[in-house]
Structure formats: C-alpha cells, structure tokens
Chains A and B, each alone.
Chain A
C-alpha cells in the first residue's frame, strides 16, 4: 500500500512564504531552491522555521559548495509533520566567506557548521565555539575549496608535500611547539 512520498516544495512557493515574512530576504529563486540574501539569511531561516506552511523545523543537512566565484552554503529543510523538503542556498564571498549561524535556531547545525568551517572555511557569525571539527587547529587552508592545493607556497593541485611538513607550520595539538618557527 503506497504512502504519500515526500513532496519537494518548489522554490517559488518557498520564496513566496519567506517574502511574506522577510520581504528583502530572497535574492534569487529557481525551480529547485531559493537563494537567500546573506544579510537577511538568519531572519529568513527563522521565518521559514516558524512559518506554518513551510514548517522547516527539521534541518535535514547543511553543506557548502565551492562555486569558484563564490561559496554557497546549502541547506535542506524538511517538515516531518507535513512531509515535505525544500532547499535553501546562501551565497558567500569566496575569499572571506561569512554566513550567519543558525545554531540559535537548530541545535543540529552546531556540528555541521563546524564541519563546513573546517573543510570550506565559511565563518558562521554567531556560532559559539566555531572551531575546526575534523582537522587540527593549525591546519593550513580548508581542503574542500577548489583552490586548496594552491594555498601555501604556490603549490598547485596534487599534493606533493603534506602540509605539516612545511617549515613554520608545525601546528597540531599533539606536537610540541617549536620555538622560533612561529608555531
């Protein structure tokens, strides 16, 4: 016996609902997702969470994509009660990406935002205790960025040297700090 499957809400509908609460919250609408205005992203997401129609109380996942020109943070929200899912994107600057944190709204965002910060370097403003999740604190760069290997010393894609071996980058919480290397 079939059950109603999850409905993927169209971007236009989502944008409409968000605009009803946060008029300047939406930057761009496509069929599949809504791109939010970064400055109003927090309010917009608070709105979509508390909206009766959208009811996005369940943060399905949070990740980021490096689009070369910019970095976009992708959110999937879902309503378990109404069984639908929709997608929200928040663009950020590529060099100094900064996106408002939604940990005040969803506990579940805490670790995922740390992961995105760790691997993509997106700073989530308002996140208490935003630190690297997987890598050690002194790890140079953010590996999921497309230009990651171009980071230190002009290295290009293809890892020829493990970052820790670069002099002056003896980070790592378990290593004794070397005097004089700036670590």
Chain B
C-alpha cells in the first residue's frame, strides 16, 4: 500500500542559507523525496566576458578576482597564463615559484571554506565553519601581507606577480605551514573524517560514477572523488608544478563524503607543495616587464589550470588589439552543476543540500 501524495514545488534559493550565494534550485518533491530539480542561475551575472572586450588585458585581471571570489589567486593565475600563452611571454623563475605558493595557499583557503560550509550544510551549528575560517583567515593574512587585499587579491600580473613578497612573509609562511596548519588538518581528520553522523549523512549521497563524471566534464574534487586520478597540475603542468612532489588523492565511490575527505587531503598535499616551493624560491625579478597595454598577436589560446573548484580555463581570442576580441571562461563551478539533477533526483531535500554543498559551487563563478 502506498500513500499517494501531491507533488510540491519548492524553491530552494535564491535566498536560502545553504545555496552559497544567490543560486536557486526549483525542486519538485514528493513528501521529502526529490522528483525533479531545475536550477536557475544568473542572479549574479555581471557580463564579465562582454565587459572584458572593452578593457585592456591588464585591466581584466580584477574581473577574475570577482569570479571565484573564494579563490581569486587561481583565477588570476589562469587568466595571466592564457594571456602569456597568447603573447608568448616568459615568466621569471621567482615569479613561477611565487605563483605556485600563492595558488596552493589559495587552494587551502578555498578548501577550508568548502569543508566548513559543507559540514554546515550537514547541519552542524556553525562550529566547523568557525574552525575552518580560523585557518582560512591565517592564509588570508599572508595575502594581505603581500598584496594588501584578502579576498580580491588581484596579485598575478601578465608576466609575473604584482609585488615581490615582503621580508616578513617567509617566516610567517614557515610558521603557518610547519606549525599551525598540519596540526589543524589533523584536527579536521579527527573531527570530521570519522564522524558517524557525517558518515551517515554524506555516504552514498550525491554519487557520481566515473563514466558520468567524464561525460559531464566534471573536474577538480568532483572528478577525483569518482575515482579518476586526474589533476591538471600533473597532467598539464604549468608554473613548474612538475618539479614538486605531491600526490593526487582519489576517492572511491564519488559521494559527498569522498569529496569532503578529498578536500582535506588536498590541503595536506598543498602544504607539501608549499614546503618544497619555499625552499626552492630563487632570487631574481618577480616580473617580466611587459607593456601595460599589451597587444598580443592575433590568434587564440586556451589555457587551463587546476583551481580549487576544478579546471578553470581561459579561452582568449586576440585580433591584435589592446583588448581581447573574445574572452571566455570555462567556469568549473558552472560545469560541475551539470550533474545536479542526476545527483539529487531520488534523494531527500536534506541530501540535496548536502550534495549541493559538496559540489562546492561559487555563484560568482557560476554566473560571472
């Protein structure tokens, strides 16, 4: 005997505590079960790709800050790499290493945020968020020390980085990666990884199979949680990532829990990279001198890096002018949302929230 019930359409978002910004899911539910999901985005659309067509290449760097505002450094880096690829600019050695350090610090900061917010979506009453924010703040302190900004860093430049690091940076970084963060990550392990309630809530929730992950162009932790050892830092090394020793953590069954554990492990791997990069930091210029209004030759370039959210790619088309003719961003947050329906249909509302939290979208990047 089954009980017939009316289907209810529920708007989850755009004003909802756990949609991580102005993201809207229209869920058709049967009791607590989700029958259909439609996603509505665009509340934060700023038409960056159009705006960039009337600005010089350097002026476009702040736009990349505002895309994934939780991982501004990696967005900066991806954009600068694409312009450098287009214009054939060499980057000094020191700048390469600095880029690696800041990209990995940014990965730690972003994964801290993702992990904390994910546990918050699981229903913890702000405690994990506060813990992870505490560590994220320490990373942001380093950003502030270097470039004066914490969130929208605008640090990478075409041909290098904007500023060289200050003298007190390296001791602070050393303290952070050798004293503070390893202990914190152990704490996350103890608090979160073996937590029975999180196991109950996140195991087998939002499962992505490897075939589906590849077919849906997923990237980053979403792809790796499905059991695919793919990391652009290994596959297509940029900024000299091939010189560092680190491992790709890979999940087993592509569920929300795997993604959470994966992020914690990736933070540890980032620490490894930073430690190596700190010791390999050469002296020299931090920037190649390029004209402010750089005019790359006509052509096109697609360059991609591994941002915390996944593969962020920049497709830049130049007509020889000072402004890009066309500038397209492959936003990992948007593309990772492709499987939202496949992941959530058949689950309860609570699971859908957990799933959405585990995707780790950033609406600034989804909408651009």
Contact = CB atoms under 8 A, between A and B. Distances in A.
A95 B216 CA distance: 30
Contacts of A64: 328
A1 B242 contact: yes
Interface stretch (B43-51, B147-155, B272-280): B43-51
B191 interface: no
A66 B326 CA distance: 8
Interface of A: 1-3, 5-6, 32, 57-61, 63-66, 74, 76, 80, 83, 85, 87, 106-112, 115, 119, 132-136, 143-144, 148
Contacts of A3: 234-235, 237, 242
Given A61-B217, A65-B317, A74-B328, 19 more contacts: A1-B245, A5-B236, A5-B242, A6-B236, A60-B311, A61-B330, A63-B315, A63-B328, A80-B214, A107-B217, A107-B338, A108-B217, A108-B338, A111-B337, A111-B338, A134-B368, A143-B50, A144-B49, A144-B326
Interface residues of B, number: 40
Contacts of B212: 107
Nearest to A158: B54
A112 B325 CA distance: 20
B50 A144 contact: yes
26 contacts: A2-B243, A3-B235, A3-B237, A5-B237, A5-B242, A58-B214, A59-B217, A60-B313, A60-B330, A63-B330, A65-B328, A74-B328, A80-B214, A80-B235, A83-B235, A106-B217, A107-B215, A107-B339, A108-B216, A108-B335, A110-B338, A111-B337, A111-B338, A135-B45, A143-B47, A144-B326
Interface string B46-69: 010110000000000000000000
A119 B215 contact: no
A107 B216 contact: yes
A2 to B, nearest CB: 4
A65 B42 CA distance: 21
A165 to B, nearest CB: 17
